[in-house]
Amino acid sequence: MLPKDILLLFVNKNDVRKLVIFELLIKNKFISFSKVREEFDLSDRNVKKAITMLVSDIEQYDSQMTIKYSSQIMYLVHSRTFRENILIYEKLKKDYLKGSTLLTLFYKILSKKEYKVYDLSIDLNYSISYCYKLINQCNMIFRLLKLDVEFIVQENSVYVEGHTIDIILFRYYTYILSGIEGNLDSKDYKYISLKNNDVLSKSNKFKINSFMYFIIDTINKYPLRQALVEELFYIGKIGSKYSNSIWKVQSLFPNLEIEGFCFLLILHIAPEVISLNEKISIAKNIKENYIEKPLIYRVIKIIDCANRLEQYSEE
């Protein structure tokens, strides 16, 4: 589930209210009106209005589920299992995010080396001046998330500057959050095969496939500096010490020179593949033997940003 402050960057405040109320109802048997009022600084009338709109949206995916409330509390009626409720929450979130102008802007600009502002204006159906305003908003979001990424406008074109790893991370999450359907297209995508890996859920296969695509595609667009490639080679040796316990993870990266890099970053998006104890063991090894490597600091920051961007419950 996404934190409220991140959602507010991409979704209008009414939809954010509905998502947060639904999240509270999923996690708690009862919630009080006062809790919702304090969360959003709303009147009782506006809280009831948000509940009515939320029930209408939930009905698209579950015609039986509804929300009952009195003057003091509210609760779900005909609630399903926790996991089924989470799936409905995720579907609603995807519906709300699909209309996000900023997510569309991120996805378009990050898909090319450079984008003419005039073409962006036509694609988004906004004025050129408003597109410049949106680009400034995007840079504000990068700073808020402490990502080393920036949209630079020069000679009426916008292009990306920043650290390659941060660009990869943000391209991945922009794609996942936007709920865009369809196949990713890359000549190198054929190297990624998960067909024989039954341990992964369908959701995690999709996430890993998407993530691997953006690693390959971004490196093709913005080549890594040689020093970073050398660091990746040494860090890749970490995996060999744990080959018995994490062979399933390593098998996801055939034919890729940056296997060690992929392995480190994949840990936070494949929770079903590797246990918490194994993650801790690997983390200790990194801290003791590789902490002087600059890339480690980047990986730590990326995992921290990833946790802020998307905090799915695995219950």
Tens of pLDDT, residues 106-128: 888 887 888 999 999 998 899 99
Same-domain status, 133 and 225: no
Contacts (Cβ under 8 Å, ≥6 apart) of 78: 62, 64, 65, 66
Q: Is residue 206 part of a domain?
A: yes
Domain boundary among 57, 77, 98: 98
Same-domain status, 51 and 104: no
pLDDT at 119: 92
| Per-residue pLDDT reduced to its tens digit, 289-312 | 544 555 555 555 555 554 544 444
Model confidence band, residue 2 (pLDDT cutoffs 50, 70, 90): low
Same-domain status, 209 and 289: yes
Identity of the highest mean pLDDT range in 102-111, 195-204, 229-238, 263-272: 102-111
Domain boundary among 61, 77, 98: 98
| Per-residue pLDDT reduced to its tens digit, 157-213 | 998 888 777 787 777 777 766 655 444 554 444 334 444 444 445 555 566 566 667
Question: How far is the C-alpha of 295 from the C-alpha of 291, rounded, in Å?
Answer: 9
Same-domain status, 13 and 94: yes
Q: Is residue 167 part of a domain?
A: no
Domain boundary among 98, 129, 146: 98
Q: Is residue 109 part of a domain?
A: yes
CATH number at residue 133: 1.10.10
| 147 contacts 170 by C-beta, under 8 angstroms | yes
Q: How far apart are the first and last CA of the chain?
A: 12
Range of the domain at 55: 4-98
Q: Is residue 170 part of a domain?
A: no
Identity of the highest mean pLDDT range in 43-47, 54-58, 68-72: 54-58
Name the residue among 148, 209, 157, 216 with its Cα closest to residue 183: 209
Q: How far, CA to CA in Å, does 13 sit from each of 90, 96, 231?
A: 17, 11, 43
Model confidence band, residue 37 (pLDDT cutoffs 50, 70, 90): confident
Same-domain status, 46 and 11: yes
Question: How far is the C-alpha of 138 from the C-alpha of 151, rounded, in Å?
Answer: 8
| 228 contacts 148 by C-beta, under 8 angstroms | no
Residue 153: phi and psi, rounded to 5, are: -105, 125
Q: Determine the residue type at 19.
A: L
Compute how many other C-beta atoms are within 10 angstroms of the C-beta atom of residue 192.
21
Same-domain status, 76 and 54: yes
Same-domain status, 76 and 92: yes
Same-domain status, 211 and 296: yes
Helix or strand run (H / E) with residue 201: none
Domain count, the chain: 3
Q: Give pTM, 2 decimals.
A: 0.59
| Per-residue pLDDT reduced to its tens digit, 196-205 | 444 445 555 5
Name the residue among 55, 42, 50 with its Cα closest to residue 18: 50
Same-domain status, 82 and 107: no
Q: Is residue 127 part of a domain?
A: yes
Q: Is 162 helix (H, G, I), strand (E, B) or coil?
A: strand
